[in-house]
Structure 1
């Protein structure tokens, strides 16, 4: 069992942001959230993280309502990588990654050997070991995103939520990052804009439009020419998938031609 939502809705300032969304990620798999800006992807991730509460419906972790669990217990299970993170405190890369160990540490106690081993492993896995002593404020946007991934890995989560993690990354680092997430033994839910990255890496895709689930299934089932035209308003050509069952999307132009 893992995180799930059952008919959750979220209203803010009188506006309906999510409308009856049910989501049941496959344990150990990567689920991609797709949809135009304003479709509710980030809000859904915040509901899954327990940062926001649904106006209606319920979010559960292992079948237990999230609002009945302690924040510390949730943080030991669920790690979140936001679109953008910043700090006014001058921290080194290693110190930022150590923040991922806070849910596992006793108050006012120094880091344990297990804490430092988790931090070192996270730095190694994200290729940041040589940057460990570098100040966070001196990093590029892409490097900061990698540090946030390392912090999440140091948390040793079973569920990993990522909101546009490939922003600010060049093509190579986009592929490296999503390869890394795909290889982790975690249940991951990742919001993406790039349809081809979603097709390459996600086991399942949930597509949102105006706060509602338009489609859910494998990349081959969800990423069709007609559906992309309806949701994104662009004309595309979807190449028939090969042996791996993963399609490729080529954007032809806008506006889409309605059939």
Structure 2
């Protein structure tokens, strides 16, 4: 099962990629070919292979089989710096013991574009300023990154990724540990960006609201792909997640309501 491919080999693509770790297939023959500027959601329970697939797409891991390509060229042959000029990643958690300002963190996104020890160029400064503005962090630029809230830290990481000026953006569960307002704000920001986005999500309703297409993984394999309204059915949710749900039509996207398991009958005492 795949997310349908664009008509040519442009962009970032995974073709029947597998990754073996600890003697088992963590990702098993998955194909993914996002269309330009669309948002594709990776769905599936814990251990289904979402994070590993993102690392394969980022070039952090090499596939045991299959190939990841960027504009038709194998990603492994392009070099990390070359790939990082095109593909940016935002991990689940970002930590640093170093005292950095928000501007310092965002400026890290310019590393792939600079030679070692070279001074900051006007182009670097422009890209950092644009990324801060796009993420609403200009007024926090001089503030310590450690003093930011969880939602602000995630926005700072997205700003760092934007400073790379990528065409593809990979995000691994960026809404984890955020309250509802910050989850919505973050995904509104993500889908407004002029990039092709692949985002791993746990929340099926958020995926239905914000993703153009979804790819559902189970035990490393792709089991369904397509528009959220076509994919997120009660049968699929029960098969993949082991829970019962009702799916209704919302304003432009399906709405999932999970059902309680039937309570166990109470046995009378005595």
Report the TM-score when normalising by structure 2: 0.91
- In the TM superposition, residue 167 of structure 1 has moved relative to its aligned partner by 1.5
Residues 142, 167 of structure 1: 8 Å contact kept: no
Deviates more, 1:44-53 or 1:179-188: 179-188
* Aligned 1:113-192 pairs, distance under 5 A: 113-192=122-201
Instruction: List structure 1 segments (4+ residues) > 3 angstroms apart after TM superposition.
Output: none
1:253 alignment partner, SS class:
coil
Aligned equivalent of 1:220: 229
- In the TM superposition, residue 87 of structure 1 has moved relative to its aligned partner by 1.1
Residues 151, 186 of structure 2: 8 Å contact kept: no
82, 87, 91: which is aligned to 2:96? 87
Aligned equivalent of 2:6: none
Deviation per residue, 1:56-97 (Å, 9 max, x gap): 111111111111112111000000000001112111111000
29, 36, 41: which is aligned to 1:32? 41
70, 87, 100: which is aligned to 1:61? 70
For 1:150 and 1:159, the matched residues in 2 are separated by 14
For 2:180 and 2:130, the matched residues in 1 are separated by 24
For 1:229 and 1:143, the matched residues in 2 are separated by 35
Residues 233, 254 of structure 1: 8 Å contact kept: no
Aligned equivalent of 1:250: 257
For 1:229 and 1:27, the matched residues in 2 are separated by 32
Larger Rg: 2
Residues 9, 56 of structure 1: 8 Å contact kept: yes
Deviates more, 1:109-118 or 1:135-144: 135-144
Gaps of 5+ in 1: none
Deviation per residue, 1:128-167 (Å, 9 max, x gap): 1221111122223322111101101111100000000111
- Return closer, same or farther for 1:216/1:8 CA change in 2, 3 Å cut-off: same
Residues 220, 241 of structure 1: 8 Å contact kept: no
- In the TM superposition, residue 241 of structure 1 has moved relative to its aligned partner by 4.6
For 2:154 and 2:37, the matched residues in 1 are separated by 23
1:147 alignment partner, SS class:
helix
2:194 alignment partner, SS class:
coil
- In the TM superposition, residue 177 of structure 1 has moved relative to its aligned partner by 1.5
For 1:132 and 1:206, the matched residues in 2 are separated by 36
- In the TM superposition, residue 253 of structure 1 has moved relative to its aligned partner by 2.0
Aligned equivalent of 1:200: 209
Deviates more, 1:143-152 or 1:131-140: 131-140
For 1:180 and 1:173, the matched residues in 2 are separated by 10
- In the TM superposition, residue 107 of structure 1 has moved relative to its aligned partner by 2.2
2:154 alignment partner, SS class:
helix
6, 11, 23: which is aligned to 1:2? 11
Cα RMSD (Å) of the superposition? 1.2
* Aligned 1:15-54 pairs, distance under 5 A: 15-54=24-63
- In the TM superposition, residue 39 of structure 1 has moved relative to its aligned partner by 0.2
Gaps of 5+ in 2: 1-9, 263-270
For 2:146 and 2:174, the matched residues in 1 are separated by 19
